[in-house]
């Protein structure tokens, strides 16, 4: 009764409340795909793919073209044997990782309905609540300081600050933000905007000013592993890989080459299956973990809330894209300030 009999894709477009700027990129819209799996007994499981051309090389029309093939690949599989469905869809890792994430999550969502257990408990039930940061996109110094103060006063104790376009300005921004929000922690994300040299200059300059950076994310190009290693040993702050860390193989290579202190897992880069492997790899190697997002609505963020609470593996949670989009909340979690609570009542 819990075999998959059909799959559907629906395009859902969400506008950002204001243009979201990161180093060398601006977004004003997220074109996400709602993926549903239908079981023989009428149960429907739902997931969301928020694709990224910049990181994954994905384009929405190409992803849509996969629907019939995907249906063929997983039809007849029972969601109670979800590992089989994970193994089949692992083949999408390099071409359509966001669709892989959505269909793998939809499988778990359907299983959750079949057995009456929330997804976060299927994944281990480690935590009943997690806390997220909130992101401040690239803007003028004045605007970034104002937004940081508001976000901190709204209850977000960790602020994620986007930088990477101008070294001198970035240093000034971080010092100004730090002075305006005493007690806050900062994840700074340069989205590959620096060179190894400028990244070291940035980190050492703001460290000397006592700016409380807890993670310095993807300062340089994703494929520059020598640079990352050099940076890691010259930065007073922990270095995290995001764009460099898509599959479990990427993370294995990063760890073996001593390139990272932290890995930023995103389900949209790795799907559930690789994300589970990366969690174990990182724990084994004593590398820290954060979890991030692309342009997911609350439906897609729900996936990461359940994953993060279930595995309990993350020091930092950057699950805020739904707060930056114009949308009506539709996640299976509750939000209280910076707290995200998976299925509080079943």
Count residues contacting Mg ion (CB under 5 A)?
3
**Does 133 participate in binding Mg ion (rule CB under 5 A)?**
no
Where do the H-state alpha helices sit in 123-224? Answer: 141-153, 167-180, 196-208
**Does 189 participate in binding Mg ion (rule CB under 5 A)?**
yes
CA 215, distance to chain mean position in Å, is 15
In the complex with Mg ion, the residue whose CB is nearer, 104 or 191, is 191
In the complex with Mg ion, the residue whose CB is nearer, 162 or 306, is 162
Query: What is the secondary structure of 71-134 as a DSSP string?
Result: HHHHTT-BGGGHHHHHHHHGGGTTT-HHHHHHHHHHHHHHHHHHHT--HHHHTT---S-EEB-E
**Does 320 participate in binding Mg ion (rule CB under 5 A)?**
no
Report, in Å, the least distance between residue 151 CB and Mg ion: 17
Stretch that binds Mg ion, among 53-61, 151-159, 211-219, 322-330 (CB under 5 A): 211-219
**Does 338 participate in binding Mg ion (rule CB under 5 A)?**
no
**Does 327 participate in binding Mg ion (rule CB under 5 A)?**
no
Q: How far apart are CA 128 and CA 310, in angstroms?
A: 8
Stretch that binds Mg ion, among 10-18, 194-202, 238-246, 302-310 (CB under 5 A): 238-246
In the complex with Mg ion, the residue whose CB is nearer, 58 or 189, is 189
In the complex with Mg ion, the residue whose CB is nearer, 189 or 327, is 189
Report, in Å, the least distance between residue 220 CB and Mg ion: 12
Q: Are 36 and 317 in contact (CB under 8 A)?
A: no
The residue whose Cβ lies closest to Mg ion is: 242
**Does 242 participate in binding Mg ion (rule CB under 5 A)?**
yes
Q: How far apart are CA 276 and CA 266, in angstroms?
A: 11
| Sign of the torsion formed by the C-alpha atoms of 98, 99, 102 and 107 | negative
Q: Are 272 and 104 in contact (CB under 8 A)?
A: yes
Report, in Å, the least distance between residue 40 CB and Mg ion: 40
**Does 170 participate in binding Mg ion (rule CB under 5 A)?**
no
Q: How far apart are CA 56 and CA 115, in angstroms?
A: 34
Catalytic-labelled residue, pool 162, 248, 269, 332 = 162
Q: Is 248 part of the annotated catalytic residue set?
A: no
| Sign of the torsion formed by the C-alpha atoms of 327, 330, 331 and 333 | positive
Report, in Å, the least distance between residue 336 CB and Mg ion: 25
In the complex with Mg ion, the residue whose CB is nearer, 37 or 214, is 214
Report, in Å, the least distance between residue 134 CB and Mg ion: 14
- Count of CB atoms within 10 A of residue 205's CB? 17
Q: Is 266 part of the annotated catalytic residue set?
A: yes
221 phi/psi in degrees, rounded to 5: -55, 145
In the complex with Mg ion, the residue whose CB is nearer, 109 or 189, is 189
Report, in Å, the least distance between residue 67 CB and Mg ion: 29
- Looking only at the bridges linking them, the beta strands covering 333-336 and 339-342 are antiparallel
In the window 278-307, what residues touch Mg ion (CB under 5 A)?
none
**Residues annotated catalytic, as ranges:** 162, 266
* Binding stretches for Mg ion (CB under 5 A): 189, 217, 242
């Amino acid at each position: 009764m819990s075999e998959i009999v059909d799959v559907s894709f629906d395009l859902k477009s969400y506008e950002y409340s204001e243009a979201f700027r990161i180093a060398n990129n601006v977004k004003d819209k997220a074109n996400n795909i709602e993926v549903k799996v239908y079981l023989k007994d009428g149960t429907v499981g739902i997931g969301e793919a928020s694709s990224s051309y910049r990181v994954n090389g994905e384009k929405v029309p190409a992803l849509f073209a996969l629907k019939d093939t995907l249906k063929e690949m997983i039809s007849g599989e029972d969601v109670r044997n979800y590992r089989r469905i994970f193994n089949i869809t692992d083949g999408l890792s390099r071409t359509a990782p966001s669709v892989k994430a959505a269909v793998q999550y939809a499988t778990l969502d359907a299983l959750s309905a079949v057995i009456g257990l929330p997804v976060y408990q299927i994944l281990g039930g480690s935590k009943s609540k997690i806390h997220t940061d909130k992101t401040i996109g690239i803007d003028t110094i004045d605007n970034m300081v104002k937004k940081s103060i508001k976000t901190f006063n709204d209850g977000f104790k960790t602020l994620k600050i986007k930088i990477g376009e101008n070294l001198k300005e970035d240093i000034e921004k971080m010092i100004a933000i730090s002075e305006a929000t005493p007690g806050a922690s900062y994840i700074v994300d340069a989205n590959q905007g620096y060179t190894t040299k400028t990244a070291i200059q940035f980190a050492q300059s703001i460290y000397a000013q006592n700016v409380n950076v807890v993670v310095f994310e993807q300062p340089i190009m994703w494929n520059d592993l020598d640079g990352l290693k050099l940076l890691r040993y010259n930065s007073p702050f922990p270095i995290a890989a995001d764009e460099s860390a898509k599959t479990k193989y990427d993370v294995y290579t990063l760890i073996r080459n001593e390139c990272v202190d932290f890995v930023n897992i995103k389900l949209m880069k790795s799907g559930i299956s690789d994300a589970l492997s990366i969690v174990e790899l990182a724990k084994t190697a004593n590398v820290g973990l954060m979890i991030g997002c692309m342009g997911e609505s609350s439906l897609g963020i729900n996936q990461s809330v359940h994953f993060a609470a279930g595995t309990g593996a993350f020091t930092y949670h950057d699950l805020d894209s739904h707060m930056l989009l114009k949308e009506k909340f539709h996640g299976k979690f509750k939000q209280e300030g910076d707290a995200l609570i998976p299925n509080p009542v079943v």
